[in-house]
Structure 1
């Protein structure tokens, strides 16, 4: 969907301008996204396999839930909306634990440039895995992976090609916060 986004400057400040998502990606305009990492009390992380028809990173494993923040939308509202849309789960604002904001610039083979500020949250997964309903147009599959296995995969220097290539510092920060929540 080609939604309207608030455009940010290189420091994450609102510019007062808006643009449709396709234009923001074509021209490398900064904008806000939400990332929500779900984890279980027994040390697993929920991953989504991106849909096969996605413009970038199709079929690669990624953050539990992610999406763009629409123009004028509050960050937390976008996070709750994306959770409902992508995995069919309703959670409360009190369930989200803000982890940080991470600047990300990714240039893709198709010519698009993602210049984003990922507003990142953690959320403990209380619902049974079988109750999750992946959004067919966005998510190919969902999987739970042990925190230890996921850490080994993404923190051992080279991120395997089956994962979206987020920066190692990003993965390290998220995994560290999940470990803090589990202790």
Structure 2
């Protein structure tokens, strides 16, 4: 796998696993509109939270790779597959819920730690997805993933800032995220299982 391919895959993986972050960050921007330093605080908080997600994922992957037989690694594809199935089940179960919680309170200060904490707490699924991916690739590819991810964090923050001032876009993303998220995770899990030859596939 070339670094260019790894970088392209990293872009796709980042976009898929951070769709919900765009919505959350746009709400932070809406809340902090007019308050000084809002963009700086949200950017730093997002980098801290996402950095913690990456470090956790890499440490788990390194530990698992050191102690698990190579033949077991493809079965980590079950993690995103199960997360995707669980998300799909929750989306189906809550299909009739119409919760429109508008958290528009412009001018309130946004704390760096709150953005970081929400980002990390919201990244449990990210860790479950990144670990099997990192286990399936080499150190060079992991480096490519990390570099692309960190670059895209800035893009994510800018996109969220843009969305915060364009409510219809946020509503569209929120409407379809519950379908895209489980669908892509299920596909990702199946691909990891198949490419690794799990279950004799």
**Scaled by the length of structure 2, what TM-score is found?**
0.22
Instruction: Decide which structure has greater strand share.
Output: 1
Query: Greater CA radius of gyration, 1 or 2?
Result: 2
Q: Answer 1 or 2: higher relative contact order, Cα 8 Å, separation at least 6.
A: 2
In terms of fraction of residues, the more helix-rich structure is 2
